[in-house]
Structure 1
């Protein structure tokens, strides 16, 4: 039975990934800060621990002997990375490198090949000179989150050079009803649901003009699995290739509940604007299409609609 090890199991990507691997017959182990089982993946073997405890994680990996490792754990909020840049550097950067070294040591100790996927981010490109971006786009992070991810991204390439099947999946924004409530996309869809039910009248947001490439989270999990199992390892940009603004996301969410004049339901608060926010991050996923056969399967409008419907049910 193949065995996988996942960090970040409590996030949307971690839960979708665990479900998929269990369905495929994998023995799935996960590192978690909590000992509570995830409601989405009861078949996972949880190991309580902190990714920054490198020695503990290293001995755990050698003991488990996984065939595939997916590092999804991170301080995932760009806003929080400004508040806690030192913690972001440790978790998103240093701990990821510790896990890469642990994967290499597990491979050398067990004599079994280990395939490693680092969940990177479009934020490593920061404010790119061109759009869309591909694997050759220079790294120019503009926030602590992107800088820490850029370090882990570069070190993934270093460990690939040392004989580890190491992949950096440069994931653009991806959403689902499992996206935590503190993220702007869930704030928008939950707000649209509340307005539809007469429980609120406005959604308060920051920069409406920031453009992102939004996709469906399970599609991006599929890209990571394909990259892990590809014949050779390299880095992949993963995104839909279509950029849309936060304004477009709000219009789609409120339009889904029948509100056309969405502007009167939105208030802009300058305190929600980040110190530095990339203006246009859009993916060129040609390499993932050509080498992995990967393509997005869910449209932007359908993604927003599914999230709004889930929030309507939740409310």
Structure 2
């Protein structure tokens, strides 16, 4: 028996999408997943047989219109698109098409449904990258946006368009997500890369970990906590913008130190090599969020920084030990 709600999740195969689908199914909702390609649809069918998968690309205007008209969702969570800031420099036009214009295609299709008398609640996954090299620390929902990356610029445009559709009367919210990690993070992300490298070194499988700038600071949280925030935001009587953050600043250096220390490796700096080639062309230095508005509706993080690092390392230990056993 479902709740009568019909949720459409884009980016359902990503870190956040996977946790969100788990939560929505657990609450008894009907869940539809928009997947970028056939392989993504097959993965959803394999891992979540209850979910109805739809293969669709965010750059397909007509396809998005047809999908919304066919599903008639009561809730839409737009989590789709490349989540790698570094990769956005490699394809800025593609980044803009998916992360800036893609949400507008969804919003416009949802608006046509909403204005016809079939209400829909829409959540746009925004990003702390919209603030860029801001002078205001910590950032709030009202901090001026000054993106310095193609990713941040695209997200900022989508953020503005979400507000425009909200002004038209639709229930639209933006979750301004700060860095959030979990064992489901792709290997290209620095937190997962550190966990993998530290464990491999501890197990004797590699001798060094190569990183870029380790002195940038980030506000790091736990992905399931941030999915909980999304659900709370969508459940509010009115749409709005919400910073989703812990309010604590930690450097990549601290993340590495905690990971190696947890594994009993004190001289971690001797195991890390800094490669300037891995530095980004631009990298905000002080992204720390003030989540007072979100906390006022009952949310708070359940995992602190050290525990987050330990979760990442423990998961990687299990994975690499199982992989090592299978190779023998």
How far 1:112 sits from its partner (Å)? 2.0
Residue 112 of structure 2 aligns to a residue in which SS? helix
Q: Which residue of 1 aligns with 2:326?
A: none
- 5 Å-filtered alignment, 1:1-315, equals 1-33=4-36, 34-38=40-44, 40-109=47-116, 111-290=117-296, 292-315=297-320
CA distance in 1, matches of 2:175, 2:47: 23
Instruction: Tell me the number of residue pairs that the alignment of Structure 1 and Structure 2 aligns.
Output: 313
Flag structure 2 segments of 5+ consecutive residues without an equivalent.
321-328
What's the TM-score, normalizing by structure 2?
A: 0.94
How far 1:35 sits from its partner (Å)? 2.2
CA distance in 2, matches of 1:87, 1:209: 29
Residue 42 of structure 2 aligns to a residue in which SS? coil
CA distance in 1, matches of 2:131, 2:5: 35
How far 1:192 sits from its partner (Å)? 0.8
CA distance in 2, matches of 1:313, 1:50: 35
CA distance in 2, matches of 1:82, 1:270: 16
CA distance in 1, matches of 2:112, 2:241: 22
CA distance in 2, matches of 1:105, 1:71: 17
Q: Which residue of 1 aligns with 2:325?
A: none
CA distance in 2, matches of 1:46, 1:64: 11
CA distance in 1, matches of 2:49, 2:211: 36
Deviates more, 1:73-82 or 1:83-92: 73-82
What's the TM-score, normalizing by structure 1?
A: 0.97
Flag structure 1 segments of 5+ consecutive residues without an equivalent.
none
CA distance in 1, matches of 2:34, 2:139: 32
CA distance in 1, matches of 2:53, 2:261: 41
Residue 35 of structure 1 aligns to a residue in which SS? helix
How far 1:232 sits from its partner (Å)? 1.1
CA distance in 1, matches of 2:261, 2:113: 51
